[in-house]
Amino acid sequence: MALFRYVNVLSLLLIVALVTAVLALSARSDAEWQALVTGVGGEDVVTFRLRRDAVDAPSWTPRHLTDLSALTGVREVFWRGGYHYIQGPGSAYVLPVTVASPGFLSARQVTLVAGRDLSAEDAGRPRAVLSEQHAREIFPDLSPAEVLGQSIRVDNEQLEIVGVAGDSDEVDAAFRTATTPPSSYPGSYDLQTVYLRLDDETNMAAVVEQATAYLAATEALAMLEAIPYREFVRPGVIDERLDYVREITVLFDWLVAFALLLGVINLFNQALLSAAARRQRWALHRVLGATRGQLVARELVIGAGAEWGAVIFGVLLGGLLGSLFGGLLSLRVVLTGLLIGILSFLLGSFPLVKGTLSLHPYGALRQSKGVARHPLLTLAGALGLLGGLALVVLAGGFRDLGQRAVGAEVQAIGADLVAFVPDRRSILPVAQLTEEDVAAFREAFPRVPVTRFERYPASVQRDTVSYDVEVIAADDVFLEVSGTRLEAGSWEGAGVVLGSAVAAALFPDGGALGQRVTLGGQRLGSDLELEVEAVAALPATERFESPALRPGAVLLPRALLNTFSLTSEVYARVGGLTESEVEALGAFLSARYPQTAPTVAFYAADSERWYLGRLQEVARHFNLVAVLIFVLASVGMATLAVARAEARRYVRGLERAFGATRAEVFRRELQSVARLSLLIGTLGVGVGLFTLWWWASGAGYAFVIPAFWLFAALVTTSGIGVLVGTAVAHWSAFRSPMAVLRGEG
């Protein structure tokens, strides 16, 4: 059928466009990746990152750095520490400060717009390097060169500025230097990043292997893995470390490859049908003097003009789409896209070439027209539909598992829960929000629930049993805003609410309600004897982003404390508000404290919300390619159905000659195609479901049957069967039976 050729030409165009667009996006990603590496001199650098299953933080010591520097092939070790924010009375700014090894900025190829980098001579001295942005904020009237020699105050120390570094992601704090990292607590050091610079001609894989063995043998660093810096900044590495996103990303690559394979198979089978239909015409050309080479050239050049046009326009379309989505359209991308398109067409045209070269004119002229009987003709539609359905069920299942798991975390923390925090991009001093600020907030926004609370370390005692706890001192809105659920009792604001672990420790036999406990601690001022009004249920999540009362904590009214806290937390529920309205809440609190860091509304579940958004974005990309898979699968199924109908055309002609009506022939063909498509679809769904169970179980995910995707897949395959079956049945039923029996129809 000519329609199949047109659809296959369109499929070839779409496949080449898809591959070219993916190549363009990959080229952009590779270019940015290379810039990340060369921009900081990372070609010969090994660094460290947490293993995927790590739960503890590393504890570095100077001995570890010495041991790493002794590894064969390591030229130097350089490092930087974490961030320190110090705000004293009357501070005009709060500048993040970090300590790094001498020459760290030079090792990272940071450009200095004025002055110099810190050296070993600066270790232990009050000297620092500022970023150009921080220099502009602190000394707005001075040029970078004029900033040199100026001083900034950090806590009680005056630091002399010896260098101003160009703005970059690396220089996000004021840098000091030391020959060994500053201790954060006895025996360990506050190291954020460690790098190993290798000697020239050193085998990086050998150094990584040595460093990995050292980490495995060192308990304090066993949660780390050594990797080349190039791998550390590789695009996509974040997706590979995100559950569910990782699997869908892999499946996307499989789907692109599968689309290419399926397109080639469809072209192959179209060529089989075309070869069967053209054998007699080729034989006549051979009898009239045409050579086999001339026939091949005619079929691949003149007769395939539409296919060649599809390849060229596919590359152009793919390049345009890739550019629109931020890809890099280079000569290499264009040539690769053309090469893939040409190879796809040539592979798909193999039956035409083979049929032409092996043609024997006399035998071909004696045979009537018939369909080529080849296993691949049967496998094409089956493989396409089965594989497409299996992949879609598999990826859809992972998306559902991920959305259920990550969405549950978002809901447990609170999708509408925001914390009012200082904007850390600002170096202005931080204002402490007070109860008066919260009261003004409630007056201005009466429909927005808001709470302010403080945390104190303390102990709770009943008779001779004592338990160390975290005390949450809050107002009566805390339960609503934090999402704390009560297992027993109710909080009237006069007594305490015990976390579940505290209640179990003090009252192992139950009966905590109405009992009295004593709270004590240096930060509380004096001991408090209070009645237990309620026991909290286990929180919906243990993530630190959630302010819900934890099992080992106690909630009491803030009004009962006479102490002053230097820190507090303010949360609100903003369900039903737009983003601009949420921003206005933070702006209201900021306006109460001019010349301080702005207060911003930060969603408590922001990281999980980003995670969920990334999962949905990857799934959308997958779904777009899945649509192409279904188009190709439909073509493959149609080709299979036509081949089967062509093989049965003589039987159908006899049925019509002996009295069968067109409606009966139509019904039989339709039922045959529909049953076949439903069988293949059921197998595809089964394969996808089994693979999802096997993969999810191996990854430690909770397996849930993706009912929606199973239903959608079966409906899709049934729809394909009905549509293709209707077209083929109509084609078969309305042919003249006499023409069919004479071999003419």
**pLDDT (average), residues 319-325:** 81
CA distance 6 to 311: 14
Best-predicted range by mean pLDDT (224-228, 354-358, 367-371): 224-228
Give me the pLDDT at residue 371, please.
47
Torsion sign (Cα): 389, 392, 398, 400: negative
Sequence-separated (6 or more) residues with CB below 8 Å from residue 302: none
The number of beta carbons lying within 10 Å of the beta carbon of residue 394 is 25
Q: What is the pTM of this model?
A: 0.74
Torsion sign (Cα): 734, 737, 741, 745: negative
CA distance 598 to 428: 8
Q: Are 351 and 51 in contact (CB under 8 A)?
A: no
Long-range contacts of 545-548 (CB under 8 A, 24+ apart): 545/413, 545/604, 545/605, 545/607, 545/608, 546/412, 546/413, 546/414, 546/482, 546/483, 546/604, 547/417, 547/419, 547/453, 547/481, 547/482, 547/483, 547/571, 547/604, 548/482, 548/483, 548/484, 548/485
pLDDT in tens, 456-497: 888 998 888 888 999 999 988 999 999 999 999 999 888 999
CA distance 689 to 400: 13
CA distance 283 to 276: 12
Least confident of 114-128, 203-217, 554-568: 554-568
User: Is the model's pLDDT at 745 over the cut of 80?
Assistant: no
Q: Please report which confidence band the pLDDT of residue 362 belongs to, taking 50, 70 and 90 as the band edges.
A: very low
Q: Are 358 and 292 in contact (CB under 8 A)?
A: no
- Top pLDDT among 91 and 134 is at 134
Q: Please report which confidence band the pLDDT of residue 40 belongs to, taking 50, 70 and 90 as the band edges.
A: confident
CA distance 330 to 319: 9
- Top pLDDT among 35 and 101 is at 101
User: Is the model's pLDDT at 24 over the cut of 90?
Assistant: no
Give me the pLDDT at residue 246, please.
80
User: Is the model's pLDDT at 741 over the cut of 80?
Assistant: no
Nearest Cα to Cα of residue 103 among 114, 117, 122: 117
User: Is the model's pLDDT at 171 over the cut of 80?
Assistant: yes
User: Is the model's pLDDT at 21 over the cut of 80?
Assistant: yes
Instruction: Read off the tokens for 25.
Output: 């996006």
Element (H, E) at 92: none
pLDDT in tens, 190-213: 778 899 999 988 899 999 999 999
Average pLDDT score over the chain: 82
Of the CA atoms within 13 Å of residue 389, those in its CB half-sphere come to 32
Q: Please report which confidence band the pLDDT of residue 160 belongs to, taking 50, 70 and 90 as the band edges.
A: very high
Best-predicted range by mean pLDDT (21-30, 522-531, 579-588, 681-690): 579-588
Give me the pLDDT at residue 538, please.
92
Share of the chain above pLDDT 70, in %: 85
Q: Which residue has the tokens 């590894």?
A: 71
Q: Which amino acid is at 217?
A: A
**pLDDT (average), residues 83-107:** 82
Q: Are 384 and 636 in contact (CB under 8 A)?
A: yes
User: Is the model's pLDDT at 719 over the cut of 50?
Assistant: yes
Domain spans of the chain? 57-222, 417-608
CA distance 407 to 149: 53
3-state secondary structure of 531: strand
**pLDDT (average), residues 607-630:** 81
3-state secondary structure of 65: helix
Give me the pLDDT at residue 208, please.
94
